[in-house]
Amino acid sequence: MATNIRRTSNPLAGINHVDLAQLEKSVEKDAIKPRVYFKRWFILLMFIFLSASNGAQWIEYSIIVTIVSEFYDVSATLIDWTSMIYMLTYIFFFIPAAWLLDKYGLRVSVLLGALGNAIGAWVKIMSTNPDGFWITFIGQTIVGTSQIFTLGIPPRLAAVWFGPDEVSTACAAGVFGNQLGIAVGFVTPPLLVHNGTKEDVARDLNVLFLASAVLNTVVLTFILCFFSSKPKVPPSLAQLTQQQEAAFDSNFWGTLKKLMTSKDFLLLFITYGINTGVFYAVSTLLAQIVLEFYPNEGETVGQIGLVIVVAGMAGSVVGGYCLDRFKKFKLITLIVYLCSFLAMLAFTLTLDLGSIAIVFANSLLLGFFMTGFLPIGFEFAAEITYPAAEGTMSGLLNASAQIFGIGLTMFMGWIIRSVGTFWANMIMSGFLVLGTIVTAMITEELRRQKAHEIQAHMPTSNTQLTTAD
């Protein structure tokens, strides 16, 4: 017997005929109807707090670089490495982490991330003495390594738990969590840790580290008790298809190979790394960039960082909403990328005007577009690589971000100290121009959207299916 299927909608034209027929028969046979669960919001909220607790520790040393370097008697470059260690460990370990996520699902990865966050935070409590930099660096390395289990989660969590009309918004909210933590990391250390005697700084650091350790322990407890890997029934037909068709996703190394030999994904791999790498470099070097022109604004630097990240959170949410609403993935990606360049250029050209208010205004634009790009890049990649496992895809994108982040942070740090901040910022603006050009070269093929549309055009009565010998 063969199944003849009458199609009445052009959007399905891009789906392979055999795959569509198999999918329709599978759904008809198993009588599975995708649904969403209210629990998805609680799952997302737990992940947001987990990601925030990791992000907050990323920048907590660099934002008070002068105080910390004097307390531990180490160079500013070593303090920069407390941030870059996040990037370095991700480059080395993201492949095993992506394999683990693909093999064992969300719960195992998220639990490992939460456990590492908590352990690293408690280790740092033992480092609040002038000879304890090596201890604090070990704790920071543990926390940085934990990032490999959480940084690539947002697109996977969104796809596994959320419906087709909310998946981009959910992904943006997941990225929002990391940005929330970075915002806390920008503003909290300057408020809690102040210049003073060694004893004063040690006391302030102890308060900072203890608060972080307690928070991370609470987050770990909630995840251990309540976090689930996936719902009983998938939220969309695209996710159902992805779970049923094991030929692509069950072969991790096959997925990796296909992604790294895809022209469009490789182009996005480069552009995502450039944009996010510039953001990492600006965030890590922010104190050095601003204090060159405003040497008495140490606490203000943290507030500028807060503005960048809070604006980025808004940009993430707006970007996710626009993707869900308009489905114009390449166009929105291009617009945001171009605006990131313009914001970086404005930040560079007005930094020396002597007005901290202008710095705040340009920082807001910089954060809104540059940080807002993060979930947009994830979702664009998910579309052009479907049905590749989201964890593998996002892991590769984040690896690109870490590679560019380390390279740009080290190079721009050297440029700042040897040539000047203006030229470092101009070079980063140039990288964003390059990224915009490369993004324009990507072919937009929205494979996941086509899979979602199958559900809307699925036969609902026997009159739409006929059988023949």
pLDDT digits (tens, 9 = 90+) for 60-102: 998 888 899 999 999 888 998 998 899 899 888 888 888 888 8
Is 27 a domain residue? no
CA 268 to chain centroid? 14
Number of domains composing the chain: 1
Instruction: For residue 63, tell me if it sits in a domain.
Output: yes
Q: What share of the chain is helix, strand, coil (3-state, %, to 5)?
A: 80, 0, 20
pTM for the complete prediction? 0.71
Domain-located, residue 24:
no
**SS3 per residue for 162-192:** CCCCCHHHHHHHHHHHHHHHHHHHHHHHHHH
Q: pLDDT tens-digit profile of 151-190?
A: 888 888 888 888 877 888 888 888 878 888 888 888 899 8
Q: Is 9 inside a domain boundary?
A: no
Instruction: Return the pLDDT at 223.
Output: 96
Q: How far is C-alpha 398 from the chain's CA centre?
A: 7
**H helix or E strand, kind and range, residue 465:** strand 465-468
Q: pLDDT class for 444, splitting at 50, 70, 90?
A: confident
Looking at the predicted structure, is the pLDDT value of residue 23 above 70? no
In this predicted structure, the answer to whether residue 240 has a pLDDT above a threshold of 70 is no
Residue range of the domain that includes 201: 37-458
Task: Judge whether 326 lies within some domain.
Answer: yes
**What's the CATH number where 231 sits?**
1.20.1250.20
Q: Which helix (DSSP H) or strand (DSSP E) does residue 102 occupy?
A: helix 76-104
For residues 408 and 209, what is the distance between their CA atoms, to the nearest angstrom? 29
Percentage of the chain exceeding pLDDT 70? 86
Q: Does 104 fall in a domain?
A: yes
Q: Is residue 297 part of a domain?
A: yes
